[in-house]
Protein backbone atom coordinates (compact mmCIF):
# COMPACT_ATOMS: atom_id res chain seq x y z
CA UNK A 1 0.00 0.00 0.00
CA UNK A 2 3.02 2.26 0.11
CA UNK A 3 2.30 3.49 -3.41
CA UNK A 4 -0.78 5.30 -2.16
CA UNK A 5 1.24 8.05 -0.50
CA UNK A 6 4.76 9.25 0.01
CA UNK A 7 5.92 9.36 3.59
CA UNK A 8 7.39 12.50 5.09
CA UNK A 9 10.48 13.83 3.37
CA UNK A 10 10.89 10.62 1.40
CA UNK A 11 12.48 12.62 -1.36
CA UNK A 12 15.18 14.02 0.91
CA UNK A 13 18.58 12.43 1.34
CA UNK A 14 18.61 10.05 4.28
CA UNK A 15 21.79 10.13 6.31
CA UNK A 16 23.20 6.75 7.26
CA UNK A 17 22.78 5.96 10.95
CA UNK A 18 25.93 4.89 12.74
CA UNK A 19 25.27 2.50 15.61
CA UNK A 20 25.92 4.14 19.00
CA UNK A 21 25.82 3.20 22.66
CA UNK A 22 25.99 6.49 24.59
CA UNK A 23 26.96 6.35 28.25
CA UNK A 24 25.19 8.47 30.83
CA UNK A 25 23.64 8.01 34.25
CA UNK A 26 19.86 8.29 33.84
CA UNK A 27 19.44 9.03 37.55
CA UNK A 28 21.80 12.04 37.51
CA UNK A 29 20.74 14.08 34.49
CA UNK A 30 20.58 17.85 34.38
CA UNK A 31 17.10 19.31 34.56
CA UNK A 32 15.74 20.87 31.38
CA UNK A 33 14.75 24.51 31.74
CA UNK A 34 12.01 26.49 30.04
CA UNK A 35 8.93 24.54 31.16
CA UNK A 36 6.33 24.67 33.94
CA UNK A 37 7.51 22.73 36.96
CA UNK A 38 3.94 21.89 38.00
CA UNK A 39 1.44 20.63 35.42
CA UNK A 40 -1.99 21.99 34.66
CA UNK A 41 -4.56 19.22 34.92
CA UNK A 42 -7.65 18.58 32.87
CA UNK A 43 -10.76 19.52 34.80
CA UNK A 44 -12.21 16.04 34.38
CA UNK A 45 -10.97 12.49 34.09
CA UNK A 46 -10.39 10.77 30.76
CA UNK A 47 -12.86 7.93 30.28
CA UNK A 48 -10.35 5.53 28.72
CA UNK A 49 -8.94 2.53 30.55
CA UNK A 50 -5.93 1.57 28.43
CA UNK A 51 -4.59 4.84 26.96
CA UNK A 52 -1.29 3.89 25.36
CA UNK A 53 -0.33 6.36 22.62
CA UNK A 54 -1.06 9.92 21.58
CA UNK A 55 -0.40 12.67 19.02
CA UNK A 56 -1.60 16.25 18.71
CA UNK A 57 -4.58 17.09 16.50
CA UNK A 58 -3.55 19.53 13.76
CA UNK A 59 -6.98 21.16 13.37
CA UNK A 60 -8.18 21.31 17.00
CA UNK A 61 -5.95 23.28 19.37
CA UNK A 62 -7.59 21.70 22.42
CA UNK A 63 -7.54 18.15 21.09
CA UNK A 64 -5.13 15.25 20.85
CA UNK A 65 -5.54 11.77 19.41
CA UNK A 66 -5.33 8.72 21.68
CA UNK A 67 -5.23 4.98 21.08
CA UNK A 68 -5.66 2.16 23.60
CA UNK A 69 -3.78 -1.11 23.91
CA UNK A 70 -4.75 -4.48 25.31
CA UNK A 71 -6.97 -5.48 22.42
CA UNK A 72 -9.28 -2.51 22.96
CA UNK A 73 -10.31 -2.55 19.32
CA UNK A 74 -9.29 -0.57 16.21
CA UNK A 75 -10.38 2.79 17.61
CA UNK A 76 -9.00 6.31 17.53
CA UNK A 77 -10.14 8.77 20.19
CA UNK A 78 -10.06 12.57 20.16
CA UNK A 79 -9.57 13.89 23.71
CA UNK A 80 -9.94 17.44 24.98
CA UNK A 81 -6.75 18.28 26.88
CA UNK A 82 -8.53 20.93 28.98
CA UNK A 83 -11.66 19.05 30.06
CA UNK A 84 -10.47 15.46 29.61
CA UNK A 85 -13.64 14.70 27.66
CA UNK A 86 -13.49 12.17 24.84
CA UNK A 87 -14.80 14.38 22.04
CA UNK A 88 -15.15 11.61 19.46
CA UNK A 89 -14.28 7.96 18.92
CA UNK A 90 -13.62 6.64 15.42
CA UNK A 91 -14.16 2.94 14.75
CA UNK A 92 -11.54 2.39 12.05
CA UNK A 93 -12.67 0.27 9.13
CA UNK A 94 -9.37 -0.64 7.51
CA UNK A 95 -9.04 -4.37 8.18
CA UNK A 96 -6.76 -3.78 11.17
CA UNK A 97 -6.93 -5.60 14.49
CA UNK A 98 -5.64 -4.23 17.77
CA UNK A 99 -3.60 -6.94 19.43
CA UNK A 100 -1.38 -4.53 21.36
CA UNK A 101 -1.32 -0.99 19.95
CA UNK A 102 1.24 0.92 21.99
CA UNK A 103 2.04 4.30 20.45
CA UNK A 104 0.75 6.83 17.97
CA UNK A 105 3.25 8.53 15.69
CA UNK A 106 2.70 11.38 13.23
CA UNK A 107 4.32 13.04 10.23
CA UNK A 108 3.57 15.23 7.22
CA UNK A 109 4.39 13.94 3.74
CA UNK A 110 5.87 15.86 0.83
CA UNK A 111 2.39 16.86 -0.39
CA UNK A 112 1.52 18.42 2.97
CA UNK A 113 -0.76 15.55 4.03
CA UNK A 114 -0.54 14.71 7.73
CA UNK A 115 -0.46 11.03 8.71
CA UNK A 116 -1.02 9.10 11.92
CA UNK A 117 0.79 5.82 12.50
CA UNK A 118 -0.71 3.26 14.88
CA UNK A 119 2.10 1.13 16.28
CA UNK A 120 1.20 -2.54 16.73
CA UNK A 121 4.49 -3.17 18.57
CA UNK A 122 3.57 -4.50 22.02
CA UNK A 123 4.98 -7.96 22.69
CA UNK A 124 5.40 -8.54 26.42
CA UNK A 125 7.00 -11.96 26.01
CA UNK A 126 8.88 -11.24 22.75
CA UNK A 127 6.99 -13.97 20.89
CA UNK A 128 5.63 -12.34 17.72
CA UNK A 129 7.87 -12.92 14.67
CA UNK A 130 6.54 -9.79 12.92
CA UNK A 131 5.13 -6.45 14.05
CA UNK A 132 3.33 -3.67 12.18
CA UNK A 133 2.67 0.05 11.98
CA UNK A 134 -0.64 1.02 10.36
CA UNK A 135 -1.03 4.50 8.91
CA UNK A 136 -3.91 6.67 7.76
CA UNK A 137 -4.27 10.36 6.89
CA UNK A 138 -5.27 12.34 9.96
CA UNK A 139 -9.09 12.33 10.08
CA UNK A 140 -10.77 15.70 9.62
CA UNK A 141 -14.37 16.86 9.68
CA UNK A 142 -15.06 14.87 12.84
CA UNK A 143 -18.16 15.71 14.87
CA UNK A 144 -16.81 16.64 18.30
CA UNK A 145 -20.02 17.76 19.97
CA UNK A 146 -21.65 14.51 21.02
CA UNK A 147 -18.62 12.39 21.93
CA UNK A 148 -20.13 9.39 20.17
CA UNK A 149 -18.53 6.44 18.38
CA UNK A 150 -18.77 6.66 14.62
CA UNK A 151 -17.66 4.37 11.83
CA UNK A 152 -14.69 5.75 9.88
CA UNK A 153 -13.13 4.37 6.69
CA UNK A 154 -9.81 5.95 5.64
CA UNK A 155 -9.56 6.84 1.97
CA UNK A 156 -6.03 5.42 1.87
CA UNK A 157 -3.69 3.51 4.18
CA UNK A 158 -0.11 2.31 4.50
CA UNK A 159 1.28 -0.62 6.49
CA UNK A 160 4.80 -1.35 7.60
CA UNK A 161 5.10 -5.08 8.31
CA UNK A 162 8.52 -5.63 9.83
CA UNK A 163 10.92 -7.83 11.74
CA UNK A 164 13.70 -6.77 14.08
CA UNK A 165 17.10 -7.64 12.72
CA UNK A 166 18.02 -9.49 15.93
CA UNK A 167 14.74 -11.16 16.83
CA UNK A 168 11.44 -10.25 18.53
CA UNK A 169 11.29 -7.38 21.03
CA UNK A 170 8.70 -5.71 23.23
CA UNK A 171 8.25 -2.02 22.49
CA UNK A 172 5.84 0.77 23.44
CA UNK A 173 7.56 3.83 21.94
CA UNK A 174 7.62 5.00 18.33
CA UNK A 175 8.34 8.38 16.75
CA UNK A 176 8.82 9.65 13.20
CA UNK A 177 11.69 11.93 12.23
CA UNK A 178 10.31 15.07 10.53
CA UNK A 179 13.65 15.47 8.74
CA UNK A 180 13.47 12.37 6.57
CA UNK A 181 10.31 10.47 7.54
CA UNK A 182 12.04 7.45 9.04
CA UNK A 183 10.36 5.77 12.01
CA UNK A 184 12.19 4.93 15.22
CA UNK A 185 11.08 2.16 17.58
CA UNK A 186 12.35 2.13 21.18
CA UNK A 187 12.21 -1.16 23.07
CA UNK A 188 11.04 -1.49 26.67
CA UNK A 189 12.37 -4.43 28.65
CA UNK A 190 16.13 -4.62 28.04
CA UNK A 191 18.45 -3.18 30.70
CA UNK A 192 19.50 -0.76 27.95
CA UNK A 193 16.53 0.03 25.74
CA UNK A 194 17.41 -0.39 22.08
CA UNK A 195 16.43 1.96 19.25
CA UNK A 196 15.60 0.65 15.78
CA UNK A 197 14.95 2.52 12.54
CA UNK A 198 12.46 1.74 9.77
CA UNK A 199 12.37 3.22 6.26
CA UNK A 200 10.20 6.23 5.49
CA UNK A 201 8.03 4.23 3.09
CA UNK A 202 6.96 0.61 3.55
CA UNK A 203 8.03 -2.07 1.13
CA UNK A 204 5.62 -4.51 -0.49
CA UNK A 205 6.96 -7.27 1.77
CA UNK A 206 8.67 -7.35 5.14
CA UNK A 207 10.84 -4.46 6.25
CA UNK A 208 13.71 -4.88 8.70
CA UNK A 209 14.04 -2.66 11.77
CA UNK A 210 17.77 -2.05 12.16
CA UNK A 211 19.36 -1.20 15.49
CA UNK A 212 20.95 2.26 15.64
CA UNK A 213 21.42 2.83 19.39
CA UNK A 214 21.41 1.30 22.84
CA UNK A 215 20.36 3.80 25.49
CA UNK A 216 21.04 3.41 29.23
CA UNK A 217 17.35 3.81 30.02
CA UNK A 218 14.79 1.20 31.03
CA UNK A 219 11.05 0.57 30.60
CA UNK A 220 10.40 3.19 27.90
CA UNK A 221 6.67 3.64 27.37
CA UNK A 222 6.30 6.52 24.86
CA UNK A 223 8.28 8.77 22.54
CA UNK A 224 7.67 11.79 20.33
CA UNK A 225 9.54 14.13 18.02
CA UNK A 226 7.80 17.13 16.52
CA UNK A 227 8.56 20.42 14.81
CA UNK A 228 8.31 23.22 17.38
CA UNK A 229 8.74 27.01 17.20
CA UNK A 230 12.27 28.28 16.58
CA UNK A 231 13.27 25.55 14.09
CA UNK A 232 13.44 23.06 16.92
CA UNK A 233 12.59 19.35 16.78
CA UNK A 234 13.39 17.85 20.19
CA UNK A 235 13.04 14.17 21.04
CA UNK A 236 11.34 12.95 24.20
CA UNK A 237 11.25 9.39 25.50
CA UNK A 238 9.34 8.61 28.66
CA UNK A 239 9.45 5.81 31.17
CA UNK A 240 7.08 5.28 34.09
CA UNK A 241 9.21 7.58 36.23
CA UNK A 242 11.23 9.91 33.99
CA UNK A 243 11.01 12.09 30.87
CA UNK A 244 14.22 12.09 28.84
CA UNK A 245 14.73 15.13 26.60
CA UNK A 246 17.11 15.64 23.69
CA UNK A 247 17.08 19.24 22.46
CA UNK A 248 17.68 19.34 18.71
CA UNK A 249 17.46 21.42 15.59
CA UNK A 250 14.99 20.37 12.94
CA UNK A 251 17.91 19.75 10.57
CA UNK A 252 19.49 17.07 12.79
CA UNK A 253 18.72 13.38 12.13
CA UNK A 254 17.28 11.58 15.13
CA UNK A 255 19.94 8.88 15.11
CA UNK A 256 22.59 11.59 15.56
CA UNK A 257 20.67 13.44 18.26
CA UNK A 258 20.28 10.26 20.34
CA UNK A 259 24.05 9.91 20.62
CA UNK A 260 24.09 12.91 22.97
CA UNK A 261 23.38 12.98 26.70
CA UNK A 262 19.77 14.03 27.35
CA UNK A 263 18.39 16.25 30.08
CA UNK A 264 15.28 15.54 32.12
CA UNK A 265 11.93 17.27 31.62
CA UNK A 266 9.76 18.24 34.59
CA UNK A 267 7.59 15.36 35.76
CA UNK A 268 6.28 16.57 39.10
CA UNK A 269 3.20 14.42 39.66
CA UNK A 270 3.90 10.76 38.99
CA UNK A 271 1.07 8.98 37.19
CA UNK A 272 -0.37 5.58 37.99
CA UNK A 273 0.90 4.00 34.76
CA UNK A 274 1.94 6.73 32.37
CA UNK A 275 2.20 5.60 28.75
CA UNK A 276 1.58 8.74 26.69
CA UNK A 277 3.81 11.70 25.81
CA UNK A 278 2.63 14.28 23.26
CA UNK A 279 4.41 17.38 21.99
CA UNK A 280 1.90 20.14 21.25
CA UNK A 281 2.66 22.65 18.45
CA UNK A 282 3.32 25.49 20.92
CA UNK A 283 6.08 23.51 22.68
CA UNK A 284 4.02 22.32 25.63
CA UNK A 285 3.75 18.61 26.33
CA UNK A 286 0.96 16.35 27.52
CA UNK A 287 1.07 13.23 29.66
CA UNK A 288 -1.66 10.67 30.13
CA UNK A 289 -1.83 7.43 32.10
CA UNK A 290 -3.74 4.22 31.84
CA UNK A 291 -6.41 3.71 34.48
CA UNK A 292 -4.99 1.66 37.34
CA UNK A 293 -7.47 0.46 39.93
CA UNK A 294 -9.44 3.45 41.19
CA UNK A 295 -6.91 5.96 39.88
CA UNK A 296 -8.80 7.59 36.99
CA UNK A 297 -6.39 9.48 34.73
CA UNK A 298 -6.30 13.19 34.02
CA UNK A 299 -4.34 14.98 31.30
CA UNK A 300 -1.16 16.61 32.62
CA UNK A 301 -0.02 19.64 30.62
CA UNK A 302 3.41 21.23 31.10
CA UNK A 303 3.63 24.54 29.25
CA UNK A 304 6.73 26.31 27.96
CA UNK A 305 7.72 29.36 29.99
CA UNK A 306 7.29 32.75 28.26
What does the alpha-carbon distance between residue 80 and residue 91 come to, in Å, rounded to a whole number?
18
Which pLDDT score is estimated for 14? 61
Which pLDDT score is estimated for 17? 85
Which pLDDT score is estimated for 7? 36
Beta carbons of 271 and 220 less than 8 angstroms apart: no
Distance between alpha carbon 134 and the CA centroid of its chain, in Å? 13
Q: What is the mean pLDDT of each run of 10 residues along the chain (306 residues)?
A: 35 70 97 96 96 97 95 94 97 96 96 97 96 98 91 97 98 96 97 97 96 98 97 97 97 96 96 96 97 91 95
Q: How many CA atoms lie within 13 A of 79 on its CB side?
A: 32
What Å distances lie between residue 234 and 40, 77, 160, 209, 271, CA to CA? 22, 25, 25, 22, 23
Which pLDDT score is estimated for 13? 52
Which residues lie closer than 8 Å to 242 by C-beta, 6 or more apart?
A: 26, 217, 264, 267
Closest CA to 244 of 186, 196, 183: 186
Closest CA to 120 of 137, 138, 99: 99
Domain count, the chain: 1
Can you give the CATH number for the domain in which 176 is found? 2.120.10
Which pLDDT score is estimated for 294? 83
Residue range(s) defining the domain that contains residue 200: 2-302
Which pLDDT score is estimated for 70? 82
Which pLDDT score is estimated for 15? 66
What does the alpha-carbon distance between residue 22 and residue 128 come to, in Å, rounded to a whole number?
29
Amino acid sequence: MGALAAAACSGSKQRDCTYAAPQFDPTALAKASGFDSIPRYSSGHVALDEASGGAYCSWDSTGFWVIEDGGAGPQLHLVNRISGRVKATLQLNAGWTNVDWEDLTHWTDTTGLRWLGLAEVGDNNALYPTRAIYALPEPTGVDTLLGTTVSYTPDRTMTWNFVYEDGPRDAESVFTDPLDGRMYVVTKREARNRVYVLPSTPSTGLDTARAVADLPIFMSTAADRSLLPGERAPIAIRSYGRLYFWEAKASEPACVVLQRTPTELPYTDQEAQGEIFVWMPDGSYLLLSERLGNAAPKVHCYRPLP
